[in-house]
Every structure is written in structure tokens, then in C-alpha cells.
Amino acid sequence: MHPYELRCLVQERHKDEVLILKRGSLYHATDGLHQLHFIAAMKTTRAGHRLERTVYRITAAGRRELTRRLRELIALPQREIPVFTAAVSYLLYLSPEDTIAQLETRARLLEQHVTRLADVLAVMTPRIGRINLIEAEHARALLQAELAWVRALVDDVRAGRLVWDPEALLAQVRAA
């Protein structure tokens, strides 16, 4: 495929629900893979006044690297810290009321995303098979877990189970 065709396939299969693809990023990735000899140009075509499109195929070296890297990514947990994780470490700088409002907004958006992924899975699984959508299942599971945690945190803030007073926190740290 050529990069534009690949991007269309990613969107058609809703892989863009779990991949962040910026405009032009596939062209940049393709160039890098080509320079590393992981893909090779098969043919270049031009339709009318459109730009030339180069169709690529994976090479034997590319298949070996794909297998090596995939094994590594599947087997070895990586330390991936989302921005949200960093942000919640600073909740003390918001009021409890503001924290509840922001977390409830997040919960609503998470619910919408979980629903959207469930819809994509329901439509696409019969068309392209579960194995091609396993990353969407994983993303949905992570979102569901985050949603449950956010709801529990809102409950804790509402019930006063979190110490919000900086002076009380300092006293607690000094006592420990």
C-alpha cells in the first residue's frame, strides 16, 4: 500500500480510536522504514494530476524486526505515565467542589468514549474479526477501569475521605 491508502484503512477499521495519527505521520514513518530497509518500494503510480504514490511491501528484514519489536512490546511492561496521572497528583490545588466538577466532566467523556468503542467493536468485529480489534478491546477495558476509579474518587471527595487542608497534610507528614 501507499501511505494514503494505509491511512484510509486505519480509519475504515477505526484503528484511529487507539492510535494517534497526525497528518503526514505515515509518510514520515514510511520514509524511516524505507531507509532502514524494513520496507521496499514496489511501484510508483500517478493518477491524473495527483501526486505520485509509491506502493511499499514489507521486506524479510522488516518482518524480522516487526516480530522482534512486537514480542518486546507484548512481553515487557513499559512505564507509560499519562498526563492525567500527573495531573491528579496536584488535586490539592483545586477546591473539592472544583475537583468534583472536573472529575464528573471527565467521567461523562469517558462514558461517551467507552460507548463509542463498544459501538465500533459491535460493527467491526463481524467484518474484520476480533483479532484485528483486540487493541480497541484493551482501550475500552482501560477506559472502563479509569471510569470506575474516577467515580470512586468523586465519592471519596464528596464523603470527605480525602484530606484537603494543606496544614493538616503537613501535620500528618510530620507525624509520620
Query: What pLDDT band is residue 139 in, cutting at 50, 70 and 90?
Result: very high
pTM of the shown model? 0.73
Q: What does the pLDDT average to over 8-23? A: 75
* Whether residues 70 and 119 fall in one domain: no
pLDDT for 5: 79
One domain, residues 98 and 165: yes
pLDDT digits (tens, 9 = 90+) for 16-45: 766 777 777 888 888 899 999 999 998 888
Does position 57 have pLDDT exceeding 70, yes or no?
yes
Residue with the bigger pLDDT between 158 and 169: it is 158
| Residue 55 structural domain | 3-75
Q: Are residues 163 and 105 in the same domain?
A: yes
pLDDT of residue 1: 62
Could you tell me how many helices (H) and strands (E) the chain has, helices first? 7, 2
d(CA 99, CA 91): 7
The whole-number pLDDT of residue 2 equals 65
- Could you tell me which residue, 139 or 20, shows the higher pLDDT? 139
Do 18 and 51 have their domain in common? yes
Residue 91: band (very low, low, confident or very high) from pLDDT cuts 50, 70, 90: very high
CA-based torsion, 140, 144, 146, 71: positive or negative: negative
Share of the chain above pLDDT 90, in %: 59
Please identify, among 36, 51, 75, the residue that sits at the C-terminal boundary of a domain.
75
- Pairwise CA distance, residues 139 & 47, whole Å: 38
Q: Do 98 and 171 reside in the same domain of the chain? A: yes
Cα gap 33→2, rounded to integer Å: 13
Backbone torsion region of residue 140, taken as left when φ is above 0, otherwise alpha when ψ lies between -120 and 50, otherwise beta: alpha
Based on the structure, what is the number of domains in the chain? 2
Residue 14: pLDDT over 80: no
